[in-house]
Structure 1
Amino acid sequence: MMVDVIVVGGGSAGCVAAAAFAKAGASVLILEAGHAFALSAPTGSWPSELTDARRMPIGPGSRYIDPITAHTTRNHHFVTTRGRVLGGSGAVNGGYFVRAPLSDFDSWPQDRWDRATVARHYAGIENDLDFGARDHHGSDGPVPVTRAVTAPLPQAFLRAAVASGYEYVEDLNAPDARDGIGAVPSNVVHGRRISMAQAYLRPVADTVSVRGRSRVARLIVRDERVVGVTGRDDHGDFTAYADRVVLAAGAVRTPNLLMHSGIGDAAQLRQIGLPTVQHLPGVGLGVADHPEIVVTYQPVTGPSAPDAGTPLQAVLEIGPLEIRPYTSSFDRMIPGLPPMLPTVGVAHMTPEARGVVTVVSDDPFSAPAVDHDYAATEADREALRTGVRVAMDILSSPMLAAAVAEVFPPEMSRAEMSLGGSLHTMGSARMGADDDPLAVLDSVGRVRGMAGLSVVDASMFPSPVSRGPHATVVMAAHRACAAQIAEI
């Protein structure tokens, strides 16, 4: 098979990339490791667990996830659950679609990612159904954005936070949004999660081919040019060729694929027995996430069923912290989990800690090792302690007495701190300047030293963003593909 563009990964970034190249006149093939669905079929015929915004199908036994064990601290690990289905993590997550502050991009290459350009591309991807008429928002982009705080706990938490002196923020996606509490912008309409497969691929269904359950093993390289991929599907091994290959397999699987294709640190590749095609020592380094610890509480009347809305309807932003009053207990939102008490999450959105993704086997289908050390620095630990105190103070407010019977503080010593991640992996194959020895990509996502190959997912982030990355992944893929297409 020969096409103009192969997109490896049908998640949010992959859907954006496929649509962009298809609209530019290219023949496009998406190779998605998970299940795919007919793009021409009505969205109502898609599995309800992928569209019901009250549920996140990421629990044990889900057929829509890629579970990989990640070490979070010296003594703890957790299973990261990335979406493995057409639409990717954006098809199974909570619908959070919050923009990063424009100041986050000051450390990105300014020839392509200055504040004005980033703001323009954020607006270009959205159809904001609340504020679309405002100058800094969009009203004709593919992604619908709404806000609603309708569930009892987040409503009460919002009121208590405001009573405690925190500012109410009308629009968390405004470019000048300040710290405070507000409704979470979500890619949810009438209780339905709108994945990027629905938003971006359905309009180009006639010009994009999608092959599900197709795992890519390696890139085919000839004379420092990528000309195709090899992989395996339900029928056996396959080979596909293209003029251009775009990687959008996510910030764990993309560096894994690069390294298994001989693109990475030469010394590390030799240890695994992999040949080196291009020495790029930054592949897999600088991995960031938003470490999260939870404050558990006993509700007065027992956990309530989720409201017809998103699992996270309001957040409190305080400097480096995001306080997350979840709509209900996670067992009510994630099928397959045992009964548990509801929680408020405390996430550190600007951590110092950085992790690494490494290959551990010459088997290209094996999972890589993911190592974080979330509690490595005292600054990170103190930020989380501060966030826990804020969450406990609000939960203990008289305004929440009718809902919260007792609050249980988490263990906060470094040795016992039980941290999870926010599933916001970023920066594992980052963009950077020509003189940056650890930059894997140029300023529009092209892999250094390799013609015909680019990366458009969260791997490319030069520095982590201080909000959940979904909206930024879509914006960055939109921006990177526009620049790549303009230079073809």
Structure 2
Amino acid sequence: MTGANSGVRSAIVVGAGTSGAIVARRLTDAGVAVTLVEAGGYDTNPAIHDPSRAGELWHSTEDWDFFTVPQPHAGGRQLHLPRGKVTGGSHALNAMIWVRGAASDYDAWEAAGATGWGWADVEPIYDAIENDLLPVTDDYALSPIQASIIDAAVEEGLPRNPNYNGGTLDGVSQEQVTIKDGRRVNTWTAYAQPVAERMTILTGRAVHSVIVRDGRAVGIRLGEGDEAEEVFADEVILSAGALGTPVILLRSGIGPAAELAALGIPVVHDAPGVGKNLHDHLLSPVIFATEKKPVGPPQPGVSVTQSHLFWRSRDGLPQPDTQPIHFSVPMWGELEPRGTDGFTLMAGLVTPYSRGELRLTGPGLDDLPHIDLAALEDQRDADALAASVRQCRRIGGQPALAEEWGAVEVYPGPDVADDDVEEWVRRTAITYHHQVGTCRMGSDPQAVVDPQLRVRGIEGLRVIDASVIPTVPTGNTNAPAAMIGERGARFLLAG
């Protein structure tokens, strides 16, 4: 369907990340005049394109470098939330792992009111993405340590799963990734960049708010104060992510009325759900040194993570609740480094019960948001992540690692008994970079957007990114964000 047929002649897409790049491409192909706005610059940093250098991007100019407020259930620490501030968004910073999630994830969305988002609806979209512009592959050579990690997981009793995106998540697998010829491929490079000359692209421009007149979004404000600039279009699409999109909505006067009024922001539409329902996956490290042979440094073009596993920490779960991710380097993070070589089995929680929120601290672009993940607030989250840490410790002790490599646990270390692992988890948990939910879609009055991703109460405004996810899927969120981009573009063009 063309833009003319759908009635959409022009559109502003805010955010050139995973979802936004796809939306911009699909609208451009349909003849819509697209203005794509990105707060960061172009992806000229070589570290973006070399999978072995992804770790260099944290705290860089390409990272929004968000932090949570102190997390009382996670050692009182402020957790770093890296988010992409560059063309490609967080898909320019991440580990390029492609996970659809479980069919039951999406059927649960639909049952909760996200009509038309069940597995039968989204599976064809995944098929189309993977067979169209975005290369998704596990056809690459495993690093020796990664092959041994997979062998050790099998020795621990996990099945070897040759295709975790094939309908069954459980087991240990080689990761399916968006890498081609040793280079990162993201939706910016695959979708938007090839048609960049057919759209207007504004980089280095921060969006302050959406312009709403008589209940309809008509454009956006770039910057603020005397330097503010207004840009207009038929439709406004916010694809700034689970942290960026609610911030823009709140500054626009779309959000919880009392919170907005307290900051002196005129209320345009009372939307109590904006910024609520924030949740994220969490990780906790188990780090090993090797005494028989070195793992070696990262190799150009080779990701430092190539395998992961899905496992149920207790009986009766509809899908796995843990997803350890395995690194060919010691991921010291805030821990004291103990050497320069080794590997990390990063325990992972992927079905969190805890829910936090995002609020504004002021109406200006420089007012940092108050981000509270409520990390590990629900005891079930701590229990699952602690069980995952214990499993990673057992895997490290299997012959494929302990005997072949001489693997020795450095952290938590022998002084931390299995019974004390929960304290370790609360002291070391970090984000898996999968924030979702702050503009939840649904059919109830508390939902920020309806199942067609239209912002309730405001015409001409949609949210198309991971913020609309009601409950985080089982696994990495890059693939779901791409799927949401494809579906959102279809909804918009259908009128």
TM-score of the superposed pair, with normalisation by structure 1:
0.89
User: 1:236, CA displacement in angstroms?
Assistant: 4.2
Q: Any residues of structure 2 matched to 1:85-124 within 5 Å, and which?
A: 85-109=86-110, 111-124=115-128
| DSSP 3-state at the match of 1:56 | helix
Q: For residues 233-255 of structure 1, what are the alpha-carbon distances to aligned partners after superposition, in whole Å with 9 as ceiling and x for unaligned?
A: 9x943211111000011100100
Q: Secondary structure at the match of 2:223?
A: strand
Q: CA offset at residue 405 of structure 1? A: 2.6
Q: Which deviates the most, 51-60 or 450-459?
A: 51-60
The separation in 1 between residues aligned to 2:280 and 2:425, in whole angstroms, is 20
Distance in 2 (CA, whole Å) between partners of 1:228 and 1:178 is 42
Where do 5+ consecutive residues of structure 1 fail to align? 38-45, 127-138, 333-337
Q: 2:163 aligns with which of 149, 171, 176?
A: 171
Residues 118-175 of structure 1: per-residue CA shift (max 9 Å, x gap): 000011111xxxxxxxxxxxx3x1100111351122211101111222111111111x
Q: Deviations over 1:10-34 (max 9, x none)?
A: 1111101101111111000111000
Q: Which of these residues, 4, 27, 35, is aligned with residue 21 of structure 1?
A: 27
- Cα distance in 2 for partners of 1:391, 1:290 equals 17
Q: Deviations over 1:33-83 (max 9, x none)?
A: 00026xxxxxxxx54212111111554651211011114631111221101
Q: 1:172 to 1:72 in 2, by over 3 A?
A: farther
Q: Distance in 1 between matches of 2:169 and 2:261?
A: 49
Deviation at 1:481, TM superposition (A): 1.4
* Pairs within 5 Å for 1:387-426: 387-401=388-402, 402-403=404-405, 404-409=407-412, 412-413=422-423, 416-426=426-436
- 1:472 matches 2:476: no
Residue identity matched to 1:205: A
Cα distance change of structure 1 residues 257 and 178 upon mapping to structure 2, 3 Å threshold? closer
- Structure-2 change in CA distance of 1:342 and 1:70 (3 Å): farther
Distance 1:389 1:454 in 2: 43
The residue aligned with 1:313 is 306
Q: Which 10-residue stretch deviates more, 350-359 or 399-408?
A: 399-408
Q: How does 1:230-379 map to 2 (within 5 A)?
A: 230-232=221-223, 236-300=227-291, 301-302=293-294, 304-307=296-299, 308-318=301-311, 319-330=320-331, 342-379=343-380
User: What is the DSSP-based 3-state SS (H/G/I as helix, E as strand, rest coil) of the residue aligned with 1:173?
Assistant: helix
Distance across 2 between alignment mates of 1:62 and 1:49: 10
The 3 A distance-change label for structure 1 pair 98 and 391 is same
In 2 relative to 1, CA 441–35 (structure 1 residues): closer, same or farther, beyond 3 Å?
same
Q: Which amino acid aligns with 1:79?
A: H
Cα displacement (A) at 1:201: 1.0
58 and 428 in structure 1: CA distance in 2 versus 1, 3 angstrom threshold: farther
* Contact preservation (8 Å) 1:72, 1:372: no
The structure-2 alpha-carbon separation of the partners of 1:459 and 1:178, relative to structure 1 and needing over 3 Å to count, comes to: closer
- The 8 Å contact of residues 51 and 184 in structure 2, kept in 1 or not, is answered as yes
Q: Map 1:63-78; keep pairs closer than 5 Å.
A: 63-71=61-69, 73-74=71-72, 75-78=76-79
CA contact (8 A) 1:151 1:306 kept: no
Greater displacement, 25-34 / 341-350: 341-350
**Contact map agreement 2:10 2:34 (CA 8 A) in 1:** yes
Rounded to whole Å, the distance in 2 between the matches of 1:66 and 1:3 is 32
In structure 2, what is the equivalent of residue 35 of structure 1?
41
One-letter code aligned to 2:379: E
The answer to whether 1:185 aligns with 2:191 is no
- Find the aligned partners of 1:261 and 1:414 in 2 and give their Cα distance: 41
- Do the aligned partners of residues 177 and 428 (structure 1) sit closer, same or farther apart at CA in structure 2, a change above 3 Å counting? same
Distance 1:283 1:390 in 2: 37
Structure 1 distance, partners of 2:491, 2:58, is 40
Q: Which residue of 2 aligns with 1:43?
A: none
In 1: Cα distance, 2:294 partner to 2:169 partner: 34
Match for residue 206 of structure 1? 197
The one-letter code of the counterpart of 1:21 is: L
Assess if the C-alpha contact under 8 Å between 2:15 and 2:238 holds in 1.
Answer: yes
Give the partner amino acid of 1:280. Answer: A
Q: Is the 8 A contact 1:50 1:91 kept in 2?
A: yes
Partner AA of 2:351 in structure 1:
T
Task: Supply the distance in 1 between the matched residues of 2:290 and 2:425 (Cα, whole angstroms).
Answer: 29
- Counterpart Cα distance in 2 of 1:58 and 1:263: 36
Amino acid at match of 1:311: V
Contact preservation (8 Å) 2:155, 2:398: no
SS at match of 2:385: helix
Deviation at residue 396 of structure 1 after TM alignment:
1.0
Q: Are 2:276 and 2:439, in contact at CA under 8 Å, matched by a contact in 1?
A: yes
Q: Does 1:451 align with 2:456?
A: no
Identify the range of structure 1 (197-206 vs 14-23) with the bigger mean alpha-carbon deviation. 197-206
Contact preservation (8 Å) 1:303, 1:329: no
Deviation of residue 342 (structure 1)? 3.7
Alpha-carbon offset, residue 232 of structure 1: 2.7
Aligned structure 1 segments of 4 or more residues deviating by more than 6 angstroms: none
**Matched AA of 1:272:** L
Q: Aligned residue for 1:153?
A: 145
Structure 2 residue identity aligned to 1:312:
T
Secondary structure, aligned partner of 2:449: coil
Please give the alpha-carbon distance, in whole angstroms, between the structure 2 residues aligned to 1:210 and 1:303. 43
Q: Is the Cα–Cα contact under 8 Å of residues 115 and 442 in structure 2 kept in the other structure?
A: no
1:357 & 1:440 partners in 2: Cα distance?
14
CA contact (8 A) 2:284 2:425 kept: no
Which shows bigger deviation, 70-79 or 19-28? Answer: 70-79
Output the CA distance in 2 between the equivalents of 1:330 and 1:51: 21
Deviation, structure 1 residue 311: 2.6
For residues 347 and 274 of structure 1, do their structure 2 counterparts lie closer, same or farther at Cα, with a shift above 3 Å needed?
same
Query: What is the Cα deviation at residue 415 of structure 1?
Result: 9.4
5+ residue gaps in structure 2? 1-7, 312-319, 334-338
TM-score of the two chains, using structure 2 as the length reference: 0.88
Give the stretch that moved more between structures: 261-270 or 414-423: 414-423
1:203 is displaced (CA, Å) by: 3.4
